[in-house]
Amino acid sequence: MFPLNQWYVAGFIWELQDKPLARTLLNHPVVMFRGPDGGVAALEDRCCHRSVPLSCGMLEGGGIRCGYHGLLYAPSGQCIEIPGQLKIPGKACVKPYQVAVRNQIIWIWLGQDAAGEPPEIAAHDNPHYRYKGGAFHYQAPYQLIHDNLLDLSHVGYVHTRTIGGNAKTHMEAPTQVSSDGHHVRVVRRMPASQPPATYSAAWPFKGLIDRWQEIDFHVSHLNIFTGAVDAGTESLDDPQRGGFHMRGFHGITPETETTTHYFWTMACSTHPDAPDNLETVYQQTAATFEEDRVIIESQYRNMRQFPGAGMIDIHVDAGANRARRIIDALNAQAQQAA
């Protein structure tokens, strides 16, 4: 089971071009496309005639035409044309899904009536930053990705060529974990650290750096604010602090119980006396996330090879364990309501 009554990431607006976009989201096969007004439509990926995926068809006049017998569907899911037949049965329709676009992100609601707007990812529209992103597909359950992102102590071991740094520093970083409702926050500080490769390539630091990691978990996504200033120059508790900023957005959307879509962007600041660093940060971030994907998929394969084997917790697991308890509680509520 998944907590369905949430806004989940379905993709990015730039992915919708001149072809239908098919994705399975939380076990729901969905096809997405732009309607006649430029808005995004999402329908179940099935023609009501002979169940061929609508994503095998083509876009036409703001609707989608089945590639088997040509039934044309409006963004509402209603069939509006059957070639060679004037009468359209009232049951000639497919299920539409509630979608919304905010900050260039396509959000979808697969549960009951949607509650409010999708989350705001303010960094996408902040003139202080530029951003770029993409998507990964994981052969692993989505909560393993939550575990990874809520525990950045692994950075010193897994990401030695990019955002790593001294592994001992990462494992011993002072960490604060708090939670409120369906939100978990993890804050880590690493003063007087050696700048890792990504930071040195993106910002002209003078020597040691004071580094921070601030992770905000929500059921369908995480926001991670990381960065650094030259050691001893600014307070890391100052919300207006300068230095090098990396604001990561991580939309973790289950595909099935054992596979996951990972939609991500990275927004960064550029030093006024240095060249634009967006492409460097993007490439380094993509390499970092690919390293995570390899680790997590290997982890899941091994979990299946050792079914029932116990796993211990250590001090770095506090944030991930709180997130799992939130999802367990939401799933239990859904089961009781069913």
For 5, phi and psi rounded to 5 degrees?
A: -80, 65
**Number of neighbours of residue 256 by Cβ within 10 angstroms:** 13
Q: How far apart are CA 328 and CA 314, in angstroms?
A: 20
Look up the pTM and report it. 0.96
Annotated domain spans of the chain: 7-109, 122-334
Condensed to tens digits (0 to 9), the pLDDT of residues 158-175 reads 999 999 988 899 999 999
Q: Give strand ranges (E) for 181-298.
A: 183-193, 209-218, 221-230, 244-254, 260-268
Overall average pLDDT of the 12-25 stretch: 97
Tell which CATH architecture fits domain 7-109: 3-layer Sandwich (2.102)
Question: Which two three-digit tokens encode residue 5?
Answer: 């009554």
Domain 122-334 listed as CATH 3.90.380.10 = yes
Alpha-carbon 265 to chain mean position: 8
Condensed to tens digits (0 to 9), the pLDDT of residues 55-101 reads 999 999 899 999 999 999 999 999 999 999 999 999 999 999 999 99
Overall average pLDDT of the 191-201 stretch: 95
SS3 content of the chain, % helix, strand, coil (to 5): 25, 35, 40
Q: What is the pLDDT of residue 311?
A: 93
Q: How far apart are CA 160 and CA 78, in angstroms?
A: 53
Q: How far apart are CA 135 and CA 25, in angstroms?
A: 14
3-state DSSP call for residue 33? strand
Question: Which two three-digit tokens encode residue 245?
Answer: 């900023």
Q: What is the pLDDT of residue 114?
A: 81
Amino acid occupying residue 37: D
Q: What angle do CA 94, 100, 103 make, to 5 degrees?
A: 150
Q: What is the pLDDT of residue 139?
A: 98
